[in-house]
Amino acid sequence: MLLKGKKALIMGVANKRSIAWGIAEAFHREGAELAFTYQNERLRENLDELLDTIGGRAGFPTFPGDVTSEEQLDAVFGGLRDRWGALDAVAHCIAYADRDDLTRPLHEVSRDGYALAMNVSAYSLLAIARRAARLMSAGGSIFTLTYNAVERVVPGYNIMAVAKAALETEVRYLASELGPGAVRVNAISAGPLKTLAGSAVKGISRLRDVTEETAPLRRNITIDDVGDVAVFLASDLSRAVTGNTIFVDSGFHVMGMASLPATS
């Protein structure tokens, strides 16, 4: 078991299709002790039902986790300190933008909409890393989720692409700042998935079709694919890996264009 004895916080589980849940299942399989945050009571109910499938909700500490609330974040990490004393890994699987801002052109996004997307999707990593690092005196791993729309224009991604660009920059700076304490910081750039967050992106089904047609491996990814890479990042196998964005997209990001039609 690659994560036996390690203690990990999973942030962002919404339902069984969440990338965060794929990570949680993989961590559980590899022997990690897990804690979770939830956004609201409805999502807490979803989380409890999922936890019952891996041993029962009573075995996993859960905390309210509104990342815009400094008080709730303090309570999360204070609770982990009291329960575990230390922390080995954090999976930051959190992003949000107003649906109207996702569907409108970037230049028409409101100031408030821009601030909301950046606060939840990008600043939250800084707030979490600051608290997590204090519990990682023996080193640890913090990782987040991003998408290739940071480097390529993807219709419908709009304001979220800008937020993810900030997030990826944070990963590099946090890796530099926290590295002397043996805390690694990385990002996973996953291919398109029909998650709760992904469903807010206009044209997600077509995007998955294009990925399957174009990616070198000719298939879409699953949450299990992401979970296995997350296990690597949380394990000692990645002890010399930090500041990276690791693509889990069947190779789609390397393609400049789809294959040209055959000529006669």
The 3-state secondary structure of 201-262 reads CCCHHHHHHHHHHHCCCCCCCCHHHHHHHHHHHHCHHHCCCCCCEEEECCCHHHCCCCCCCC
pLDDT score recorded for residue 61: 96
Check if 123 is active-site: no
Percent of the chain residues topping a pLDDT of 70: 93
Say which amino acid occupies 91.
Answer: A
- Give the pLDDT band of residue 55 (cuts 50, 70, 90): confident
**More confident of the two residues 208 and 239:** 239
Average the pLDDT over each of 3-7, 95-99, 215-219 and give the range with the smallest value: 215-219
Average the pLDDT over each of 43-52, 99-108, 253-262 and give the range with the smallest value: 253-262
pLDDT score recorded for residue 257: 67
Between CA 145 and CA 128 the distance in angstroms is 14
Catalytically annotated residue among 38, 96, 123, 157 = 157
Q: What is the DSSP letter of 199?
A: G
Is pLDDT of 200 > 70?
no
Beta bridge partners of residue 222, listed in sequence order = none
In this prediction the pTM is 0.92
- Give the pLDDT band of residue 194 (cuts 50, 70, 90): low
**More confident of the two residues 182 and 151:** 182
Check if 147 is active-site: yes
Q: Express each pLDDT in 243-254 by its tens digit.
A: 999 999 888 888
Compute the mean pLDDT over every residue in the chain, rounded to the nearest whole number: 92
Terminus-to-terminus CA distance in the chain, angstroms?
Answer: 54
Is pLDDT of 199 > 90?
no
Catalytically annotated residue among 96, 114, 147, 173 = 147
**More confident of the two residues 194 and 91:** 91
- Mean per-residue pLDDT, 200-220: 78
> In terms of DSSP H, where are the helices of 60-203?
70-84, 99-103, 111-118, 124-133, 158-178
Is pLDDT of 58 > 60?
yes
Q: What is the DSSP letter of 180?
A: G
Q: Express each pLDDT in 170-192 by its tens digit.
A: 999 999 999 999 999 999 999 88
For residue 193, the surrounding DSSP H or E stretch is none
Structural domains for the chain:
7-248 (3.40.50.720)
Q: Pick the closest to residue 3 from 27, 34, 21 (CA basis).
A: 27
Between CA 65 and CA 44 the distance in angstroms is 10
